[in-house]
Structure 1
Amino acid sequence: MFDYETLKLIWWGLIGFLFIGFAITDGMDMGVGGLLPFVAKKDAESRVVINTVGAHWDGNQVWLITAGASLFAAWPLVYATAFSGFYFAMMLTLFSLFLRPLAFDYRSKIESVQWRSNWDKALFVGSMVPPLVFGVAFGNLLQGVPFGFDELMRVTYTGSFFGLFTPFTLLTGVVCVAMVLMHGSTWLVMRTDEDIAQRSVNIGRIVAIVLAITFALAGVLVWQSIDGYVVTSAVDTMGQSQPTSKEVIIVAGAWLHNFERYPLLWLIPVSGVILPLLVALLLNNKSNSVVPKVFAFIASSITIACVILTAGIAMFPFVMPSSSQPNHSLLMWDTVSSEGTLSLMLAVVVFFVPIILAYTLWCYKKMWRTVTLDEIEQNNHSAY
């Protein structure tokens, strides 16, 4: 149906789509979990906040599983190298993610203030650690990861866990945390009322402005001080995986080359700066109309897509550049699975993804309502 080169491009786009889907859906409920200690001042208010995402959080997390499985099947070398290089960071993320289902399921099992408070703290940690780690990981990809392959294609990572944290990667971590907090606040403004919604507005405006500033600052640093990577040899876009058979050099400002080559692409990072400011303007709990609230959520979702797309376009065709052995950098052209594997996976995706999207939208529609404090106080036996 498609030739090998086209399949590689399609899967680059599909994996990006899955990560954007994860960031928008699961990022929303992670943002809600991160806001929990700040927008809920008593147990009943905490239950209101949790009930806005209680029916959806586990389904949202499937996006991460799907993205990870697709990465494993389509880009096996990237999957293996990333888990080798970011092993402790990945384990930290997984253990923090373990806290979320436990907090959701066990929080309301015992009517104890201390018990519930501790699970609220666990939910906060489980919601904030993953976006911080993912943001730091993206920053490391832009800086380059110290890895290389031997003659048997065994990967060796020469960095350290604490070496992952630099001023730039911490900045990208802040970008990611601010992004999910903004997204969570737009969700709470739509799904709650009165005091919780107003606190969400106040915090949402602040983190939206922080996101615009930090994302712009990260862009300036990429332009001024973060060296990019350029392939100087011919690349066989139709060939099988051969990640060590190319020549790569490190060049200042190289991550901007794709934007300079196609100026229209500048609209994406510019939107990533402007849209959070629009979210800050649209966030309003005093209006009786739901329209500005919905538009704030949509603008927040598009912001997330723009931030991720900016990084993906800047690095294209690199997926995981190597700072220690640039010639061993992983490209989307030379790290993919076989043509047959990509074709089979594409057929599965084309069939199942529309079904999943339709079912997800149906669930959100059927369970849509404003969760009020009166409803929660009158229903002490709800799941959350």
Structure 2
Amino acid sequence: MIRWVIFIVVYLLLTIYGFQAIRTITKATWIHVLFFILAVLVFGNFIYQFTLPSQGRVLTPGKSYAFGFLLTYMSFLLVMIPILIGEDIFRGVSSLYDRFFTTKEDFYFPERRKFISQVAMGLAAIPVASLLYGMYKGKYNFRVIKHTLFFEDLPQGFEGYKITQISDIHSGSFTDYEEIQQAVHMINEQESDAIMFTGDLVNNTATEMDRWKPLFGSLKAKDGVFSVLGNHDYGDYVEWKSNEAKHQNLEDLKKVHKDMGYDLLLNESRYLERNGDKIALVGVENWGRGGFTKKGDLTKASEGVKPDDFKILMSHDPSHWEDVVLHDPYHYHLTLSGHTHGMQFGVEIPGWVKWSPIKWRYKYWAGVYNELGQYINVNRGLGYLGYPGRAGIWPEITVIELKRKEQNS
């Protein structure tokens, strides 16, 4: 209860302070009324959605959108208010200086205040427009990102081998069948040798896939579709009636993989063969730093794999690569991960800028990285969770082509 009280007080204070900018810019009463109506609707919907009975931390589409609109409104205030506070501090300090050290009258220029308020609102409109676009279109703005990686010891038979990686489907968040159908079409359109899915098929429960199973079951590749589990697949964020019910949910989800024709690797390995050569594909269960499920067992998964085999590892959380894989005696040539979503928000201009707040939590958060002669690709995710959209960090389909070369490039 105390958290709700604090939240209400903070929300009210920010709204009142933000209104000062609105009032400075325009005296139109209908605009003032509209501002408060929007503030009440956003707040009321959020309170309503998040006080509805639910199982644990389940985010229904209603809750997700309530959070999204609250986030959008708060971003408006939190960009604008520091600018207004800065102006107030400057005006206050200047007024005190003039009072004690000069003979000037009180330092106050209404036109300056109006100009500052206009600038603040203009800047605040940028994240607002981005977040609204992210909820309306950005979450379905699917991008195919292609990488060519070079390895000195890639078996000759796998020269030009193409892998399509997808990750973090989060089917419980989807609402638009036609948009997801287009994403599946884009994946199949790559005509890759193998499709590799790196976890988080659902938000919480296996039943979330009931509507989507036929669609994602239509994914096809020459060597098949391979998959691993992510942290959300274990049902850890739901209040279950019993441990047996939670266990059954996981077994049901494993069956979903099987029904769709996915080869689910549970701390296991497979060999892919091509033109008389072979490479090892290793898949671990989720292993994540910072309180996330740690069921991944790299040693067990690599049983039967030789040290000099060319190895591809599927591991949902990139912190596993950083904390464990890089330091393992085996050399895992390429690791495929997801999990971060790129926070679903950021700025990316290829060759110029790649930034998201998620970088403060994960060193390896999006794209290809190379450490100690080993590669990792962190997929930005196909779906979304929490904020029901994507702004600047678009849903990703990765295509990786393996090439043999004497030196990496």
Query: TM-score of the superposition, structure 1-length normalised?
Result: 0.25
Query: TM-score of the superposition, structure 2-length normalised?
Result: 0.24
Look at both structures and tell me which one has the larger radius of gyration over its CA atoms: 2
Question: Greater strand share, 1 or 2?
Answer: 2
Question: Greater helix share, 1 or 2?
Answer: 1
